[in-house]
Chains A and B, each alone.
Chain A
Amino acid sequence: MLLVAMVSQQSWAAGMRGAAKSALAPFESGLTAAAAQLDRVTSGLGDMSTLRAQNQQLLADDAALRRQVVELNAAAQENATLRQALDFERSFGHRMVAAQVVGLGPDGFSRTLEIDRGTSDGVQAGMIVTTGAGLLGRVSEAGPHAAIVQTLADPQSRVNVYLSRSGLQGTVVGGPTALQLQVEHSIGVVASNGEWALTSGVGGGYPRGLVVGEIASVTHHDAATFDDAALAWVNDPTNISLVLVITDFTPS
């Protein structure tokens, strides 16, 4: 099995590996949609159980109305997400491809997402992935009709950022429970709670100006060259359904 892993890791096998991984994407997409439907149904059932003691006719009417409200709310939420994504694309000025999230990484060590766009849609490994709210991660592998995105929550993820008020530079490191920010010391300036962290563009890995998150707490170290901060990420990978892949930015 290790031999299979070694062989499949080779660059000449990337195409076959991508094609094989794309094969499961439609199933994942279907199950993700089913899970969303199940969530709606279970929330409706929960409400109905409290109403069962009341009049049966009222219960039926209420359930029907509630279902409609849930559906309308879901549609409104999706509409808002799409509107936010469209606004972001217009204001950001880069070319992007919208993609649906069809799956999440199977283990806790690599926080990844699977999206339903691949090389046939212009998505390539290394491209930056965002949502309307801000930076999400980077495409790590791309098959013909699906791609895998390494999110910022991945423990191996690193992003250079600057802080909105103090202008201090730092590096965001992924983690299993929260994003950690290491802020460089500067004389007379300290990072504070509520500051926004945006990509600095240093290193050429990400375009400058993408929102990453807000500082939730700062731990100052007088003896060290940097302070530690916990960052409240603008994205929650388990609740994202739509992402945008920036297709015209090449990381250096």
Chain B
Amino acid sequence: MKPAIGAALMLGAALVQVTWAPRIEILGAFPNLVLIAVVALTWTRGVRTGLAWACVGGLLLDLTAAGPVGPHALGLLTGAYLTGFWTRNLDRQSSIQVALAAAVSTVAYSLVLVGSDDTLGLPVPPLSVVAELTLAACAYNAILMPAALALLRKARLTAAEAV
């Protein structure tokens, strides 16, 4: 993937994440489009590409969030690493597999986010709230993930045909 296209994808996902995604909240949770993009890139392009764009997307999210710069990037890196690990140990890819990978990455991302805040001495929400939000976000991201992957593959196909 060309760096400019990847950067545009991440910037777009991050901006939509902080302007539109919170408006489609269900049970206190809303989808994380940057995480979905990172999982989709890792799934289709491999773990190295996924990790690189996780870092970029995470830093963009950090710039729009309260607190220090780094926790979102760290969370997304963990998610990308786990997705890469998942794809390496998979014989046959399916929609369920990628949805599960998104769910696991969401859990890892959320735990790293809360854990890093705790490590840095910042206030963290109660454990029950963390569990509730994480589970809802897991379901949300897992449902959206197959569609996002299909969209990315279609975009790649269209780009390849154009070339």
| B65/A5 in contact, CB under 8 A | no
Chain A 139-177: CB-based contact to B (< 8 A → 1; otherwise 0): 011000000101000011000000000000000000111
Is A27 an interface residue, CB under 8 A from the partner? yes
Taken together as a complex, chains A and B put the C-alpha atoms of A17 and B113 apart, in Å, by 18
Whether A148 contacts B66 by the Cβ 8 Å rule is yes
Distance A31 CA – B42 CA, assembled complex (angstroms): 27
Q: Which residues of B contact A156 (CB under 8 A)?
A: 123-125
Per the bound structure, the CA–CA distance linking A17 and B70 in Å amounts to 11
The complex places the Cα of A59 from the Cα of B120 at a distance, in Å, of 60
B74 in contact (CB, < 8 A): yes
User: With a CB–CB cut-off of 8 A, which chain A residues contact B77?
Assistant: 1
- Chain B: number of interface residues, binned into ranges: 35 or more
Contacts of B125 in A (CB 8 A): 109, 155-156
- C-alpha spacing A175/B25, complex, angstroms: 13
Interface of B is mostly: helix
How extensive is the interface on chain A, given as a class? 35 or more
Q: Which residues of B contact A35 (CB under 8 A)?
A: 19-20
B44 within 8 A of A: no
Pick the contact of A8 from B29, B58, B69, B124 — CB < 8 Å? B69
Contact A1 B73 (CB under 8 A): yes
Residue of A nearest to B29 (CB): A108
A238 touches B19 (CB 8 A): no
Identify which of B80-88, B129-137, B146-154 touches chain A: B129-137
List the count of A-B residue pairs having beta carbons below 8 Å apart.
136
In A62-116, the 8 Å CB interface with B consists of 102-110, 112, 114
> Would A238 and B129 be within 8 Å (CB), given that A27-B15, A107-B72, A107-B113 are in contact?
no
Contact across chains for A109 and B114 when beta carbons are under 8 A apart: yes
Please give the distance in Å from B19's CB to the nearest CB on chain A. 5
Contacts of B119 in A (CB 8 A): 2
| Closest beta carbon of chain B to A203's beta carbon, Å | 16
- Nearest A residue to B70 via CB reads A5
Residue on B nearest A10 in the bound complex, by CB? B68
Contact with A along B14-53 (1 / 0, CB 8 A): 1111111111010111101010000000000000000000
Contact surface of A with B, Cβ cutoff 8 Å: 1-6, 8-9, 17, 20-21, 23-24, 27-28, 31-32, 35, 102-110, 112, 114, 140-141, 148, 150, 155-156, 175-177, 237-238
New A-B pairs, 7, CB < 8 Å, besides A31-B16, A109-B133, A155-B129 = A9-B120, A104-B21, A106-B32, A106-B61, A107-B61, A108-B25, A156-B123
